[in-house]
Each structure stands twice: as structure tokens, then as C-alpha cells.
């Protein structure tokens, strides 16, 4: 049998990671095991181990891929808007759209991982915390810009704004899915807009 | 050996439930197994099964006990305040206090359970969703009272207010624990107060 090309191996590693992201969004990062993922992908365990090394390396790759999906869906499109308030408004819309699209089969990946690792020290905790801190930093920089431009009150703390947007999206996404409230994402969007001083706007 | 009294059995069931609540707040409701809990309590598996029946019955008892702890800590004290805005303000303070006290070893129990079961149908999903719906209904009734009394704007939807308070406490509690931000609960409190039209107030 000919050796498979490096490109083929990279492709199949990427597909394994994407399948694992979907699986982990339902069962949690702790819930994916090499055995379970091998079953899902109809691959051998040894094949998967060859690709990832060990369970923790696989979990870290999965988390990184999930963060990348979020960035692609929520942050990159917002870069087309002007810095400051217009960009924050675009982020809110993209974030709600992302939650509405159910990009992750089991709800927001980073929120699920945050809950899994908030009380469990280790490399996965550190990776999730670093991803959330980076995202809060990005939101805070935009809020600071908006304040400097006079689009947010001078006494509004940009760190508070960032934390509030994150809390609303995270908590609102979870509660809405749980109770099956179809209007939950509209409520979340209105609350996020209020947090940056915008009117609730027409419900979509 | 004399038969143990019914009161003794009830006591030891209650202590087992309380220990399981703490364990589940760290490892999740799915993470508690009869075996693990038996180890934690230095009891036999058969003794635990005798007390609870099966794993699901144990998980449901644990969830009910956790909801009871929350109600004791956050809702019952607020009943001393007048209905409407004063009571909502008291709820916010008690809720933040509850998160600050780390009543649950691993963070807010209901948020953890919400994330575990938002995509997993079954009796546990239904129990968590019912508990969250009841709590949202309680908050909504107070917001409606506050609006009728003129303490909230006439165009402020009481369902939105309830959902926003819940999202902020849930999302803010998780993110703050995860990133180890000591000011996170102050930020959450200020945001919850803003949601009910109150000034952020001095940070405690």
C-alpha cells in the first residue's frame, strides 16, 4: 500500500478535529475519548492516537479549532465595520447569528468548556481561560475606542462593557436553549445592544 | 444488629445528597456515579443504591437539593423586602453574595446542569428546565410589579428583565471563575443593577 501523502494526512486530521468539535459541543471536551471519537469516525483507535498523540493533545486541538470557528463567524466579518461602536454592533449581530445558526451542535462551545474547566486546573483550563481573556481584550479595545469617540459615556468602564457582552451572550445562549424559548436570542440581542447604549431595535 | 431508625436513614440520605451536590458542582451531574459517590462517602455501593434506587433517581434528588440551596440563599431572604424593585434589588445582592460565597464547590450548580443538559433530552433536562422556568417566572412577576409601581419604564418587558438578570448572573459567574477575575462579581452586580434601572452603586 503506498504511503498516504502528507496533505491527505493533514486533511484527515482536520476532519477528525471538526468531527470532534461537534461531538464535544454535545458531550463536553471531557466526554470525548479516543474510543468514542474513533467510533464516530469509523476509524481505529490506533489511527487516531497516531494523529493526535494522546487524549489531552486531541482535546487541545479541538478547543483551538472551536475558537477558530467562533473567530471566523463572529470577529472576522465585524472587521468590515469601523472600529468602536459600529464594530461592536456588528459583533453583537454576528454573535447572535452564530448562536442562532447552531454552528455547534450542542450550543456555544467555549461556554460549555468554561463550565467544564472553571474548577479543574490544568492545560485545558488554561487554554479556555486564555481564549476567553483574549476575546474580552478584543471587546474591551473596541469599547475603549467607542468611548474615546464619544459613542459610550465617559464613565462607562470598557472592561465592564466587554464582560457584560460576554456574560449576556454566554448566559443567554445557555438559558434560551435549555428552556426552549424561541425569543431568547432576541432578548439577548436587545440586552447586548443596551449594554453598548444602542436601542433594542426591531426584533428579527 | 438493631434496625436503624427511619430518622437515621433519612438523615444519612440527606447527608449523601448534600455530599453529592458538592461533588456534582465540580464534576457535573453526569460525572457523579454511584461508585464515585460511594468512594467519596466511604459507603458501599449497595448501601447507596438502597437509598436512591438508581443513578438517575440520585441525580434528580441531587438537582432538587441544589435548587433548594439556591432558593434558601437567594429567594427566601429577599421576601423580607417589599415586592417589586426593592425585592429585585435584594435578589441581586443575595445572588451575587451566593456566587461570592462559593456555596457550590464548583460554581453555580444550575448553570453547570443547564450546560450539561441543554442538548440532552430526558428527565434531568426537564427538571433543570422546569427549575429555570420557575425562577424566571418569579423574577418576571417581581419585574411586572416594579413596572406597575412605576419603578421600571412602561416599555420594559418583564420577561426580558428576568431573562437578562438570569443571563448576567449565569454567564458572569462562569466567566469570572474561569478567568480568575476578582472584580467579575462586582461587574456582574453593576450590570444586573443597570438591568433594573438602578445605579451601579459603590463596589463592595
Instruction: Provide, as residue numbers in chain B, all residues whose Cβ is less than 8 Å from the Cβ of A181.
Output: 163
Q: Look over chain B and give the mean of its residue pLDDT values, rounded to a whole number.
A: 89
Beta-carbon contacts of residue B170 (< 8 Å; ≥ 6 apart): A167, A170, A171, A174, A175, B108, B110, B111, B114
pLDDT band at A32 (very low <50, low <70, confident <90, very high): confident
Residues 104-143 of B with CB under 8 A from A: 105-107, 111-112, 114-120, 125, 128-129, 132-133, 136
**Residues B76-84: what's their mean pLDDT?**
97
Q: Do B178 and A106 touch (CB under 8 A)?
A: no
B196 close contact with A: CB closer than 8 A: no
Residues 83-102 of B with CB under 8 A from A: none
Q: List, in sequence order, every beta strand (DSSP E) within chain A.
A: none
Beta-carbon contacts of residue B85 (< 8 Å; ≥ 6 apart): B146, B149, B151, B152, B196, B197, B198
Q: Using one digit for the tens of pLDDT, what is the confidence trace for A36-56?
A: 888 888 888 888 888 888 889
Q: Using one digit for the tens of pLDDT, what is the confidence trace for B95-139?
A: 999 998 876 666 788 888 998 888 789 999 999 999 999 999 999
Per-residue pLDDT, A87: 98
Q: Are the C-beta atoms of B21 and B62 separated by less than 8 Å?
A: yes
Residue A202 has pLDDT above 60, yes or no: no
Per-residue pLDDT, A19: 86
Q: How far apart are CA B41 and CA A106, in angstroms?
A: 33
Instruction: Provide, as residue numbers in chain B, all residues whose Cβ is less than 8 Å from the Cβ of A172.
Output: 163-164, 167, 171
Going from N- to C-terminal start, the domains of chain A cover 6-195
pLDDT band at A138 (very low <50, low <70, confident <90, very high): very high
Per-residue pLDDT, B147: 98
Per-residue pLDDT, B127: 97
Instruction: Provide, as residue numbers in chain A, all residues whose Cβ is less than 8 Å from the Cβ of B188.
Output: 163, 167
Per-residue pLDDT, A9: 61
Instruction: Provide, as residue numbers in chain B, all residues whose Cβ is less than 8 Å from the Cβ of A177.
Output: 118-119
pLDDT band at B19 (very low <50, low <70, confident <90, very high): confident
Q: State percent of chain A over pLDDT 90.
A: 58
Q: B175: buried, middle or exposed (CB in 10 Å: 19+, 13-18, 0-12)? A: buried
A168 close contact with B: CB closer than 8 A: yes
Q: Do A117 and B178 touch (CB under 8 A)?
A: yes
Q: How far apart are CA A17 and CA B159, in angstroms?
A: 39
- Which residue did the predictor score with more confidence, B12 or B44? B44
Nearest CA in chain B to A178: B118
Candidates B106, B163, B191; nearest CB to A164 = B191
A19 close contact with B: CB closer than 8 A: no
> Mean pLDDT lowest for which of A173-182, B31-40, B146-155?
B31-40
Count of CB contacts below 8 A, A vs B?
A: 144
As a three-state string, the secondary structure of B60-118 is HHHHHHHHHHHHHHHHHHHHHCCCCHHHHHHHHHHHHHHHHCCCCCCCCHHHHHHHHHC
Cα separations (Å) of A122 from A30, B107, B121, B165? Answer: 13, 17, 30, 31
pLDDT band at A103 (very low <50, low <70, confident <90, very high): low
Per-residue pLDDT, B96: 95
Nearest CA in chain A to B105: A119
3-class secondary-structure state, position B182 = coil
Q: Using one digit for the tens of pLDDT, what is the confidence trace for B142-185?
A: 999 999 999 999 999 999 999 999 999 999 999 998 998 889 99
Per-residue pLDDT, B156: 95
Instruction: Provide, as residue numbers in chain A, all residues whose Cβ is less than 8 Å from the Cβ of B176.
Output: 163
Find how far residue A125's CA is from the centre of its chain. Answer: 15
Q: Which fold has domain B6-195?
A: Tetracycline Repressor; domain 2 (1.10.357)
Amino acid at each position: 500500500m503506498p504511503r498516504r501523502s502528507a496533505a491527505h494526512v493533514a486533511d484527515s486530521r482536520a476532519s477528525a478535529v471538526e468531527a470532534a468539535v461537534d461531538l464535544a459541543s454535545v458531550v463536553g471536551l471531557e466526554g470525548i475519548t479516543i474510543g468514542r471519537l474513533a467510533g464516530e469516525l469509523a476509524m481505529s483507535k490506533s489511527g487516531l492516537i497516531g494523529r493526535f498523540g494522546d487524549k489531552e493533545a486531541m482535546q487541545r486541538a479541538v478547543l483551538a479549532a472551536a475558537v477558530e470557528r467562533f473567530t471566523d463567524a463572529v470577529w472576522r466579518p465585524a472587521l468590515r465595520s469601523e472600529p468602536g461602536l459600529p464594530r461592536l454592533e456588528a459583533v453583537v449581530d454576528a454573535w447572535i447569528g452564530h448562536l442562532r445558526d447552531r454552528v455547534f451542535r450542542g450550543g456555544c462551545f467555549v461556554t460549555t468548556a468554561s463550565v467544564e474547566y472553571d474548577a479543574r486546573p490544568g492545560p485545558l483550563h488554561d487554554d479556555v481561560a486564555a481564549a476567553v481573556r483574549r476575546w474580552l481584550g478584543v471587546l474591551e479595545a473596541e469599547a475603549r475606542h467607542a468611548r474615546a469617540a464619544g459613542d459610550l459615556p465617559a464613565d462607562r468602564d470598557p472592561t465592564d462593557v466587554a464582560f457584560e457582552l460576554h456574560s449576556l451572550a454566554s448566559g443567554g445562549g445557555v438559558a434560551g436553549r435549555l428552556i426552549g424559548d424561541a425569543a431568547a436570542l432576541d432578548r439577548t440581542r436587545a440586552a447586548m445592544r443596551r449594554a453598548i447604549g444602542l436601542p433594542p431595535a426591531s426584533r428579527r
